[in-house]
Structure 1
Amino acid sequence: MSPAKLLKWLTGAAELFLAIPILGGAIVIANGYVPLTIMFIAHAVTLLLSMKERSSKYGSVFGLLTSLLAWIPFLGWFMHAVAGILLIVSAIRGERSHYTRP
């Protein structure tokens, strides 16, 4: 398994965990919003590895935006859920580096 794919699985699972109503928000607030900073860094690393491997970047980009906007109550929940789904789907689909244009 490639490093980008592994990080997509991990960041996707973390985003879905943070999307759990009340619990995810409570964890973020109780820890002084540090989880959002950690997720931002994790998404940035995942994005860089995805670019290197030429695989899908949409989940990581959306995850970066989520980390910046997740402090807004209902928007944060929705964005965590969407980011998690995008990352998991991207990890399942695999790399696209094998498909080249003539």
Structure 2
Amino acid sequence: MRGSTVMRWVTAIGEAFLAVPFIGGIVVLSTSYSILGVMFILHAVTLILAIRDHSAKSGSILGLATSIFAWIPFVGWFLHLVTAVVLAVQAVISRPKYY
């Protein structure tokens, strides 16, 4: 499995966790929003790996935008949810097919 696919799964799981109502918000607030910085770095690494692997980049770019705008209540929840779905779909599609 390519590094970009592994990182897509890691970031998708992180985004899905942050999209859980109240729990994600509590985590963001309890870490003083630093979890958003961590997610930004993870999305940047995923983007670099996607560029190297010549694979889809839109999920990582969306993740970077989510990390920037997620501090806004309700908007952050929606962005985390959409980003998690996009990254998971891209991770499934980018896996090698065995016949």
Question: Same fold by TM (over 0.5)?
Answer: yes
Tell me by how many angstroms 1:48 deviates.
0.5
Correspondence for 1:11: 11
TM-superposed deviation, 1:68: 0.1
- C-alpha distance after superposition, 1:62-87 (max 9, x if no partner): 00000000000000000000000000
Q: Which runs of 5+ in 2 are unaligned?
A: none
Q: Distance in 1 between matches of 2:52 and 2:18?
A: 27
Matched, 1:76 2:76: yes
Tell me which residue corresponds to 1:36: 36
Name the amino acid aligned to 1:45: V
Q: In structure 1, how many angstroms separate the alpha carbons of the residues matched to 2:82 and 2:56? A: 15
Matched residue count:
96
| Residue 99 (structure 1) aligns with | none
Name the aligned partner's letter for residue 58 of structure 2.
Y
Question: How far off its partner does 1:42 sit?
Answer: 0.2
TM-score computed with the length of structure 1 as normaliser: 0.92
> Amino acid of the residue matched to residue 65 of structure 1?
A
Counterparts of residues 59-98 of structure 1 (less than 5 Å): 59-94=59-94
* Offset of residue 10 of structure 1: 0.5
Q: Aligned Cα RMSD in Å? A: 1.2
